[in-house]
Structure 1
Amino acid sequence: MEIKIYHNPACGTSRNTLALIRNTGIEPHIIEYLQTPPSRADLRQIIQLAGLTVRAAMREKGTPFAELKLDDPSLSDDELLDAMLANPILINRPFVVTPIGVRLCRPSELVLDILPLPQLGAFTKEDGEAVIDANGKRIKSND
């Protein structure tokens, strides 16, 4: 059973998502997309399967988004994809692909909706937020 994560090890959300995948006992296929960007077809497909628009899959914070004037509503999806492939930091993260579906896992616990196996034990995010209890059950937030 293959699970892929488009991962940025410098991103806490991405690290938490990877840890939640591993907490099922699965070692995913890790694609460090800043070094190995997806192909245009793969990027378009994961965005579509995640139910997002190309624009919604773009990261603004900490990227050249503003300098490249990517907020221009007249830019086509192809132009936005060109920018994302030329500057992979513009691809929001982490995207996770499983046999159940594809998600942009922001926040990281969105990955729980598409993991085919249960959590094996407790999990606490890097910021100290408990997400999974000792029995492997999701702790519901009060939001």
Structure 2
Amino acid sequence: MQVQIYHHPRCSKSRETLKLLHYLGIEPEVILYLQDIPDIETLRTLYRQLGFHDVRDMMRRKDALYKALKIEDQEYEKESCLSLLTQYPQLLERPIVVYGDKAKLGRPPEQVLTLFSALKP
């Protein structure tokens, strides 16, 4: 089964998570989401796979752009937030690792290990 990582090479947590995957012998499909911007349907799938209850949990809440857009202060609905992520992919929290029908944020990187617990003998 293919593993994917939504990766930003300049992000230390993203680099650490990718390094962890390599250490485990996993060669993931690397998606540079700032270049290959996920569409709305992909973001909906990631949201479902992550199991979040608020789309804002997929967003970089401390980012200056997040604050400038006043996303926390407004009553954005799920679809509006997903639309914002297609317009401003830099707001997507990173890294996101996908395995099967589940996904985890690599914050901290070790959190993604739970995706692979079924691989242990």
TM-score w.r.t. the length of structure 1 is 0.76
Query: For 1:1-143, what aligned pairs fall within 5 Å after superposition?
Result: 1-52=1-52, 53-99=54-100, 101-115=102-116, 117=119
Residue identity over aligned pairs, in percent, reads 38
Q: State the 1:89 CA deviation.
A: 0.7
- Given that 1:17 and 1:109 are in contact with CA atoms closer than 8 Å, whether structure 2 keeps it comes out as yes
- Given that 1:44 and 1:54 are in contact with CA atoms closer than 8 Å, whether structure 2 keeps it comes out as no
- Aligned equivalents of 2:92, 2:44: Cα separation in 1: 11
Structure 1 or 2: larger helix share? 2
User: Which consecutive unaligned segments of at least 5 residues does structure 1 have?
Assistant: 119-143
1:82-135 Cα deviation digits (max 9, x unpaired): 1111000111011110137211121110111112656xxxxxxxxxxxxxxxxx
The higher relative CO (CA closer than 8 Å, separation ≥ 6) is in 2
Query: What letter is aligned with 2:61?
Result: E
Aligned length: 118
- Aligned equivalents of 2:107, 2:50: Cα separation in 1: 12
Q: State the 1:49 CA deviation.
A: 1.2
- Regions of 4+ moved over 6 Å: none
- SS of the residue 2:97 aligns to: strand
Query: What letter is aligned with 2:37?
Result: P
- Aligned equivalents of 1:76, 1:54: Cα separation in 2: 8
Q: State the 1:76 CA deviation.
A: 0.9
Q: State the 1:73 CA deviation.
A: 4.1
TM-score w.r.t. the length of structure 2 is 0.89
